[in-house]
Amino acid sequence: MHKAYLGLGSNIDARKNILSAMNTLEVTFDKVAFSPVYECPAVGFEGGDFLNLVACVYTSMQPLELKHYLFELENRHGRDRNAPRWSSRTLDIDILLFDDLYLISPQLEIPRKEILDCAHVLKPLADLAPDLLHPTERITINELWTRFPDRQATLKPVTL
């Protein structure tokens, strides 16, 4: 079994879409764990606040197979593929980490660079897996969060 960390986000019917995605992941995968959920402003565009969290799943899928599964899950939640890249969305799910894999291809990038760049990705990952080693930085996720320059980012814990 492979261990994958997934970043989930939504700012359109966010509570409904995040809860539905979480339920689907729990049904699909044998073992699932979730970080706390955070509300934060949209990054890179004007839009409503996002709900963000990280899920850890155990899967027999290979990385591209998992990516395609998550793409279809986003589609089932009304993801608009014609919208600009930086825009509001019903559901966004990215593979952040997959085992200790390092992969850069036109289809997939693992580890996902947003781990190092975005508080709304790094903080929930640090909550869920503080002692996990980042595969290329070779320090723990908690240490990455401790060193993060914008730790004061507007991340508000929320209960769904």
Q: Domains (ranges, CATH) in the chain?
A: 2-158 (3.30.70.560)
Specify the amino acid at residue 92.
D
Q: Please give the Cα distance from 128 to 36 (Å, whole number).
A: 8
Whole-prediction pTM: 0.95
- Look up residue 19 and give its amino acid: L
Q: What is the rounded distance in angstroms from the CA atom of residue 89 to the CA atom of residue 83?
A: 9
CB burial class (10 A; 0-12, 13-18, 19+) of residue 11?
Answer: buried
Give the Cα separation of 34 and 131 in Å (integer). Answer: 16
Which tens digit of pLDDT belongs to each residue from 74-116?
Answer: 999 988 877 777 778 999 999 999 999 999 999 999 999 999 9
Residues written for the chain: 160
CA–CA distance, 8 with 92 (Å, rounded to integer): 6
Please state, in angstroms and rounded to a whole number, the distance separating the CA atoms of residues 27 and 19. Answer: 12
Q: What is the pLDDT of residues 44-77, one digit of tens each?
A: 788 899 999 999 999 999 999 999 999 999 999 9
